[in-house]
Structure 1
Amino acid sequence: MLEPHVPSAFDLFIAVVAASLVSAGLIVVLRPLLQRYALARPNARSSHKLPTPQGAGIAVIGATLLVTVIWQAVSGLAFPLTLTGAVLLIAIVGLVDDIRPIPVLPRLLFQIIAIGLVLLTLPSDLRMIPSVPIALERGAILLAGLWFVNLVNFMDGLDLMTVAEIVPVTAALSLLGWLEALPVLPTIVAATLCGALLGFSPFNRPVAKVFLGDVGSLPIGLLVGWCLLALAYQHHLIAALLLPLYYLADATLTLLRRIASGEPFWAAHRTHYYQLATDNGLAVTDVVGRVFMLNCVLAALAIASIQLTSPVVNGFALVAGTAAVAFVLVRFSTKQSH
């Protein structure tokens, strides 16, 4: 894929600021409508106690796409129509689900279609592991993408949680693009998504005035997953694993724990480690603050694994990142003494 130029630090700064302003402005405009038509009422899975409008993801994703498309048009690089279609499809599914819940199977089918569209943006000869048949590799990526999209949705259960996770990840991806470790398009998508979430953050800080909703969390998972896939295809697999490692660990270990205990793992619940942390006495701000700091550490390790290229550095980064995540998960699952 030919690229016009590597984004400068000024390009990325403008993308972040523009997306932030557009996102915040759209939320102000949309909030009365969301209050009326998309109210999230507390249930057994909820961490909030008052009915709260959801659907601010419309603003976040809208700002991300708008600023990205404008930047691409100015720079002369076309935004893939299949990627746009995938994001819009999964956002619409999320919006409908926010207003009137969709059964699990149709929801998964639409998600698979959206992820399949993303895979169509990949060159047919692009390979991660050449010794593995391409059909098997793409099938594994499809399943991994399906899990990643859903785990981002599962982890969006606390005020500012998605901001605390995705802002460090997308900021790191933007920096890696500036360092020429990531292609231009995912770099700009990461920067605009980072900015859009920063614009959303004042409205979502405890106690949240508005939630992302599935219309936000699902396409965020799709876009971040695509950016991480682009990073992995640049032969930076360790970094692509490190950046979302907390989300991967919390969601996957929670799923395995529920399966092992015989729980209906498909049913709504609030037993993720970050949810256990609030039950164990940590304030919401403490939980998201620790998640944010952890993700900053993981981002630093991911960048180091690319800039200081050696098997020793890669191994240390992976071990250190895993240990940091394990430490936080243990703290979250331990009763806090006051």
Structure 2
Amino acid sequence: MITNPATILALIALLAAVMCAVLIVLLRPLLQRYALARPNARSSHKIPTPQGAGIAVIGATLVVGGAFASVMGFAPLLMLFIAVPMLALVGLVDDVRPIPVLPRFVLQGLAVALVIFTAPDDLRLFPIPLAVERMLLLIAGLWFVNLVNFMDGLDLMTVSEAVPITATLVMFGLSGSLPWPATAIAAALAGAMLGFAPFNRPVAKVFLGDVGSLPIGLLLGWGLLHLAWQGYVAAALLLPLYYLVDATLTLLRRMARREPFWAAHRTHFYQQATDNGFTVARVVGEVFLLNLWLAALAGASVVLQSMAADAALLLAGLAAVAFVLRRFSQPRSGGA
């Protein structure tokens, strides 16, 4: 019987990767027929490409991760395992036939609320009334779910974000800084994303679709929230910092210009980069390296456990993100 935690987590990731890859192979002909994403003025792809591989990613994550995580009791996962399929279903419908903005946000809000408002009352971040904190977490969770969706606009982009985050969460779990259920789910999601990666590398053969990006956002947010509940708020902010800054600055810029910020567009910094002469591989490669640096800063925050260190590490993370965003927003020297 395997009892080594590292071995168990590696097995979780391997099983999820294999299951995800097999499911994609089986599903791809169906997606090619019923869920084809055709290029438009806002797209980054040039040829019609099937979307919906998120079904395989989420399925593998929930089946494999849930099986291993539930050995410590299924109760902590129950609402998550209701909310994630709910978000996936919303995304699936939206992939096939777009849902109007208001109903879409309401359904997303219900899924996020299931996770936030059913968490134990002793899981707290700040010394403020519980109801106020949970409402703020609901708003933050809804934004995080959508920003992961907004940032899923380039081949391998979500892989370059999700894999460093989940791998770091697994390392925190091994050190005792993250509960086992969150660690097991992180390992499964990391494996599933690696199983998806060969099919999504440039030029992608299949996309996640909203059926994948929305619930991936919830799973990542759930893991990061558990990290913050353990007292590591700075680390929980550092890990997704690139996504947070790129998506938030883009949203604020579009709102300032009175543009319909909820509509699809091509104004994120990573999208500007491809317009400015960066190859897709270069963009996702730089994002991946940035995320490794942010993961190292998050690790330092967990080890040091100091407010002064957290402030310095957050500034270092913001400086690194600002450097990459500035590069992306300017034409690459030498031309395309």
* TM-score scaled by length of structure 1: 0.96
Deviation at 1:70?
1.8
Partner of 1:332: 328
Partner of 1:216: 212
1:190 to 2:162 alignment: no
C-alpha separation between the residues in 1 aligned to 2:4 and 2:281? 34
Partner of 2:130: 134
Partner of 1:45: 42
Deviation at 1:7?
7.0
1:98 to 2:95 alignment: yes
- The Cα offsets for residues 165-192 of structure 1, whole Å up to 9 and x where unpaired, read as 1100000001001111111111111110
1:287 to 2:283 alignment: yes
More moved, 277-286 vs 315-324: 315-324
> Which of residues 231, 242, 245 is equivalent to 2:227?
231
Q: What are the residue-to-residue correspondences of 1:188-337 with 2, within 5 Å? A: 188-337=184-333
Partner of 1:180: 176
C-alpha separation between the residues in 2 aligned to 1:72 and 1:220? 17
1:59 to 2:51 alignment: no
Partner amino acid for 1:206? P
Percent sequence identity over aligned pairs: 64
> Which of residues 158, 169, 176 is equivalent to 2:154?
158
C-alpha separation between the residues in 1 aligned to 2:315 and 2:281? 27
How many aligned residue pairs are there?
A: 331
The 3-state SS of whatever aligns with 1:48 is coil
The 3-state SS of whatever aligns with 1:110 is helix
Deviation at 1:242?
0.2
The 3-state SS of whatever aligns with 2:212 is helix
- Does structure 1 retain, via aligned residues, the 8 Å contact 2:37–2:49? yes
- Does structure 1 retain, via aligned residues, the 8 Å contact 2:72–2:180? no
Deviation at 1:120?
3.7
- The Cα offsets for residues 130-181 of structure 1, whole Å up to 9 and x where unpaired, read as 2x11111000000000000000000000000000011000000010011111
The 3-state SS of whatever aligns with 1:140 is helix
C-alpha separation between the residues in 1 aligned to 2:163 and 2:52? 19
C-alpha separation between the residues in 2 aligned to 1:195 and 1:125? 31
Deviation at 1:128?
1.2
Partner amino acid for 2:305? T
C-alpha separation between the residues in 2 aligned to 1:61 and 1:143? 23
C-alpha separation between the residues in 1 aligned to 2:31 and 2:108? 24
C-alpha separation between the residues in 2 aligned to 1:185 and 1:72? 5
Contiguous gaps of at least 5 residues in structure 2: none
Q: What are the residue-to-residue correspondences of 1:7-86 with 2, within 5 Å? A: 8-73=5-70, 75-78=71-74, 80-86=77-83
Partner amino acid for 1:164? S
Partner amino acid for 2:132? L
- Does structure 2 retain, via aligned residues, the 8 Å contact 1:16–1:194? yes
Dislocated runs of 4+, deviation >4 Å = none
More moved, 206-215 vs 252-261: 252-261
Deviation at 1:126?
2.2
1:226/1:7 CA distance change after superposition, 3 Å: farther
> Which of residues 96, 101, 115 is equivalent to 2:112?
115
- The Cα offsets for residues 90-132 of structure 1, whole Å up to 9 and x where unpaired, read as 00000010011100111111101100111144102322112x1
- The Cα offsets for residues 207-226 of structure 1, whole Å up to 9 and x where unpaired, read as 00000000000000001101
Partner amino acid for 1:296? L
Contiguous gaps of at least 5 residues in structure 1: 1-5
The 3-state SS of whatever aligns with 1:295 is helix
C-alpha separation between the residues in 2 aligned to 1:60 and 1:15? 13
The 3-state SS of whatever aligns with 2:305 is coil
C-alpha separation between the residues in 1 aligned to 2:197 and 2:55? 14
C-alpha separation between the residues in 2 aligned to 1:83 and 1:300? 28
- The Cα offsets for residues 240-279 of structure 1, whole Å up to 9 and x where unpaired, read as 0000000000000001111122322222210000000000
The 3-state SS of whatever aligns with 1:298 is helix
Partner amino acid for 1:119? I
Partner of 1:3: none
Deviation at 1:76?
4.3
